[in-house]
Amino acid sequence: MARAFCSILLLTGLLWGCASPPRQELLTARTALARAAAAEAQVLAADEYRTASNALQDGEVAIRRKKYKLARQILPLAEAHAQKALVLARQEQAQREHDKAQEREAEQAAKLEAAQQSTSSPPPKKKVAAIPRVVKPAPKSPQSYRVRGGETLWTIAARHDIYADALLWPLIYQANRDQIKDPRQIYPQQTLTIPRQISDEDQLEARQRARESKIFPIGELVR
């Protein structure tokens, strides 16, 4: 009898947990995003920060609609991307500080050499030039994409030069319905159209469809 009573209490607790808003998960996701913002991740790690922000907004929408189970799936995703954005932003900040230090050292060496040349007339020395920083070109936004072996709509949408968000794969599927019958079946050398003029509402709807779909499990995004 006691064992049955304990089982009832445990089941009641689980049901209550599913029916209550995920306040702790929401607080954790918001805190992680705030820390990333404080590290200027919206500039230094824009793709990851945007993905985290979008996921947090979707989680908040799910809570307002009382879809607590869905919110519990989305909010950890927002936290994971926010933490990754924080790491990338700190790495970029460290790299920039290193580059600035090298430039200052080169400038100081050049000034010292110029001062020495002005007070004496030894044979001219070779001027120490500042080491130029290699500027990476901005990633292009292709209007089409040729499928490679082993790729899926999920992994293509997650590419930084496509959407940097795997949950937007329904946009690619919808734009290529003429050659894709099953979203799980795409083939190497297929050339897919990549929609670019996408509204915020279309993105939110695509993410919602991706989460409700069983074609690609949401857990793959944060492996």
Q: What would the pLDDT profile of 80-89 be if each residue is shown by its tens digit?
A: 999 999 999 9
Are 29 and 76 spatial neighbours (Cβ–Cβ below 8 Å)? yes
Instruction: Name which residue leads in pLDDT, 222 or 199.
Output: 199
Q: How many CA atoms lie within 13 A of 36 on its CB side?
A: 30
Taking the C-alpha atoms of residue 222 and residue 205, their distance in angstroms, rounded to an integer, is: 21
What is the percent of the chain with per-residue pLDDT over 90, rounded to a whole number? 62
> Which region holds residue 83: left if phi is over 0, alpha if psi is between -120 and 50, else beta?
alpha
Give residue 121's pLDDT: 60
Which whole number is the average pLDDT over 188-213? 92
Give residue 135's pLDDT: 46
Give residue 216's pLDDT: 74
Exposure string of 75-110, with b = 16+ CB inside 10 Å and e = fewer, is bbbbbbbbbbbbebbbebeeeeeeeeeeeeeeeeee
Helix (H) or strand (E) holding 193: strand 191-193
| Three-state secondary-structure class, residue 192 | strand
Give residue 126's pLDDT: 64
pLDDT of 4 over the 80 cut: no
What is the pLDDT confidence band of residue 8, given thresholds at 50, 70 and 90? very low
Q: What is the pTM of this model?
A: 0.44
How many CB atoms are located within 10 Å of the residue 142 CB?
A: 13
Helix (H) or strand (E) holding 13: helix 2-19
Which whole number is the average pLDDT over 131-155? 76
Give residue 150's pLDDT: 86
Which whole number is the average pLDDT over 199-204? 93
